[in-house]
Amino acid sequence: MFGKRTSQSATQNQPAAAAKPVAAKPVATRLPPGVAPKPTAAQRGISPQSTAGPVGEAHRSEEYYITKGMIFGALIEAIDLSQLSRLDPESAREEIRDIVNEIISIKNLVMSISEQEDLLDDICNDVLGFGPLEPLLARDDIADIMVNGCNRTYIEVGGKIQLTNVRFKDNTQLMNICQRIVSQVGRRVDEASPICDARLLDGSRVNVIAPPLAIDGPTLTIRKFRREKLTLDQLVRYGSITAEGAEILKVIGRVRCNVVISGGTGSGKTTLLNCITNYIDDDERIITCEDAAELQLQQPHVVRLETRPPSLEGTGAITMRDLVRNCLRMRPERIIVGEVRGPEAIDLLQAMNTGHDGSMGTLHANSPREALSRIESMITMGGYSLPARTIREMLVSSIDVIIQAARLRDGSRRITHITEVTGLEGDVVTTQDLFVYEILGEDAQGRLVGRHRSTGIGRPRFWDRARYYNEEERLAAALDAAEIRDGARVLGG
Ligand SMILES: Nc1ncnc2c1ncn2[C@@H]1O[C@H](COP(=O)(O)OP(=O)(O)OP(=O)(O)O)[C@@H](O)[C@H]1O
Ligand SMILES: [Mg+2]
């Protein structure tokens, strides 16, 4: 019944296709045949209902999926995918809508207009976009999307992980979508190369791990790119830090302290690094090294570098260490490493120590002290047989400040410490907290109640640096305000 659109589509369907601006608007033909390019957010044409996210999905019954499967099958038979891939996304969407409407009427399927609209969107998303993921991708309040096989998709909203009702038809559909995502950046994921990192066109960071490594089906993790970039002032509004604390961070960013941002997974390290880099002067030459480019520096003079995984033959990998080392030959003033996780730690420390003041990096650790021992073990594991004392001397002479970020058990993200590395006593690296977050209790809704306060240190070690940049008054005022006001609040109960 839809034969006219299959084998004969190239001829019989020509007028309809020609009526649309197929020839005038050639689409990205580098995509595999049958895979139309991913529409832009505006082109996605997702209805308001579907952008509302899993709520819309929540009431979908088993029959819905059966009907959809049946229509989808008929559509795939009826449509010439290679021709579809030549259409621009909007025309392709229209073409699919026409055919689906036709299938619905020929099969005499009874459904309400809104059900039909839902189904149309759903099917268009399957054929043209990232299928059931599309409504989640369209939402800006989601931090992470975590797909654990075809039946379970979780999201992180407001620091809390929630199960959604998003489902894929089967693991094959999920795998096809994973493949479609990674092929955008010229990568491949299959049994032979089951691990893949990629980036969506909007900048979201993607990881795919497929069977046999992922036992329960393809597992996809997306760190959603936030359209609206967070700033320190917004972090103050969210209660992640106080205005005084933010002021101290602004000074630290500006006066070229060497900074390590430490925190657990998803605690907001990259966000914080991004915020602090805002206070770097415009005339500095900054080089960023990342595994997946996430930082969005606003300065005019930025060089962005990204690591490269090995090819399928296992060759051609460019590691973070290669990048950091190369940076040193690029006349950097500041080096910013997205995430330090291996032997590049020693290169970053050396850079910090050799005239690249104001370099920064993030790492996974649960406290400032743990951050120091993590760096130490990264260096030792990198094959350096340096005495512990030498490594610690290096830590002390390179790192000025450690900023600790945390995602607390109620889902809130806070900056819990601004800590200075002060020196070496015997074999022990000494630190002093300038600014801390203390948890005081919990409110009736289960939210943590706490407060940020300065520890009363009036003159941090980077005081001279602050004075050199004419920022000492601002620093003193912020430290002072944080201490007195919070002290008063505590006394007042
Ligand atoms: N202070 C904050 N308040 C609210 N949301 C935040 C805050 N900081 C970060 N986020 C959000 O939390 C998510 C995770 O942030 P980010 O990518 O900075 O974490 P991360 O620690 O770098 O994670 P990873 O360990 O995966 O690299 C993002 O969606 C970000 O927008
Ligand atoms: Mg990060």
Statement: residue 64 has pLDDT above 60: yes
Helices (H) and strands (E) in the chain, counts: 20, 15
In this prediction, residues 75-90 reach a mean pLDDT of: 77
Question: Are 320 and 358 within one domain?
Answer: yes
Lowest mean pLDDT of 41-45, 326-330, 415-419, name the range. 41-45
User: Does residue 343's CB lie within 6 angstroms of at least one atom of ligand 1?
Assistant: no
What CA–CA distances, in Å, run from 81 to 77, 316, 420? 9, 35, 60
Statement: residue 455 has pLDDT above 60: yes
Q: Which domain holds residue 35?
A: 1-127
Statement: residue 271 has pLDDT above 80: yes
Q: Of the candidates 196, 226, 256, which is a domain's last residue?
A: 226
Give me the CATH number covering residue 203. Answer: 3.30.450.370
Question: Are 359 and 420 within one domain?
Answer: yes
Q: pLDDT grade, residue 309 (50/70/90)? A: confident
CA of 428 to the centre of ligand 1 (A): 32
In this prediction, residues 102-126 reach a mean pLDDT of: 84
Q: pLDDT grade, residue 326 (50/70/90)? A: very high
Q: pLDDT grade, residue 484 (50/70/90)? A: low
Q: pLDDT grade, residue 59 (50/70/90)? A: low
Residue recorded with tokens 């005038």:
24
Question: Are 269 and 282 within one domain?
Answer: yes
416 or 483, greater pLDDT: 416
What CA–CA distances, in Å, run from 452 to 254, 420, 457? 22, 17, 14
The top-scoring range by mean pLDDT among 19-33, 168-182, 248-262 is 248-262
Number of domains in the chain: 3
Amino acid at 361: G
Probe target for ligand 1 pocket from 271, 296, 339, 414, with the most ligand atoms within 8 Å of CB? 271
In this prediction, residues 35-63 reach a mean pLDDT of: 43
In this prediction, residues 293-322 reach a mean pLDDT of: 89
Question: Are 88 and 10 within one domain?
Answer: yes
pLDDT in tens, 137-158: 989 899 999 999 999 999 999 8
Q: Which atom of ligand 1 is nearest to the CA of 273?
A: 18
**Whole-prediction pTM value?**
0.79
Going by DSSP bridges, is the β-strand pair 334-337/205-209 parallel, antiparallel, or unpaired? unpaired
Residues 6+ apart with CB under 8 A from 257: 357, 358, 400, 401, 462, 465
What is the DSSP-derived secondary structure letter of residue 318? B
Lowest mean pLDDT of 86-90, 229-233, 389-393, 438-442, name the range. 86-90
Question: Are 327 and 248 within one domain?
Answer: yes
Q: What is the mean pLDDT of the chain?
A: 83
Please tell me the predicted confidence (pLDDT) of residue 193.
86
Given a contact cutoff of 8 angstroms between Cβ atoms, the answer to whether 452 and 482 are in contact is: yes
Probe target for ligand 1 pocket from 228, 232, 262, 270, with the most ligand atoms within 8 Å of CB? 270
Q: CA–CA separation, 135 vs 420, rounded Å?
A: 44
Question: Are 117 and 138 within one domain?
Answer: no
Give me the CATH number covering residue 251. Answer: 3.40.50.300
Question: Are 239 and 359 within one domain?
Answer: yes
Please tell me the predicted confidence (pLDDT) of residue 52.
36
User: Does residue 266's CB lie within 6 angstroms of at least one atom of ligand 1?
Assistant: yes
CA of 203 to the centre of ligand 2 (A): 13
CA of 223 to the centre of ligand 2 (A): 9
Question: Are 431 and 287 within one domain?
Answer: yes
Q: Of the candidates 127, 161, 186, which is a domain's last residue?
A: 127
User: Does residue 263's CB lie within 6 angstroms of at least one atom of ligand 1?
Assistant: yes
Question: Are 112 and 44 within one domain?
Answer: yes
pLDDT in tens, 214-244: 999 999 999 998 888 899 999 999 999 999 9
Question: Are 407 and 487 within one domain?
Answer: yes
Statement: residue 53 has pLDDT above 90: no
| Nearest CA, atom 15, ligand 1 | 268
Question: Are 436 and 473 within one domain?
Answer: yes
Residues 6+ apart with CB under 8 A from 213: 194, 195
Statement: residue 47 has pLDDT above 60: no
Please tell me the predicted confidence (pLDDT) of residue 143.
93
Helix axis angle for 269-277 and 243-254, nearest 10°, is 60
Q: Where does 52-132 have alpha helices with state H?
A: 54-58, 62-78, 81-84, 89-106, 113-128
CA of 191 to the centre of ligand 2 (A): 28
User: Does residue 413's CB lie within 6 angstroms of at least one atom of ligand 1?
Assistant: yes
User: Does residue 271's CB lie within 6 angstroms of at least one atom of ligand 1?
Assistant: yes
Q: Of the candidates 205, 226, 247, which is a domain's last residue?
A: 226
- Ligand of minimum distance to the alpha carbon of 229: 1
CA of 153 to the centre of ligand 2 (A): 21
3-state class percentages of the chain: helix first, strand second, coil last, to nearest 5: 40, 20, 40
Question: Are 123 and 134 within one domain?
Answer: no
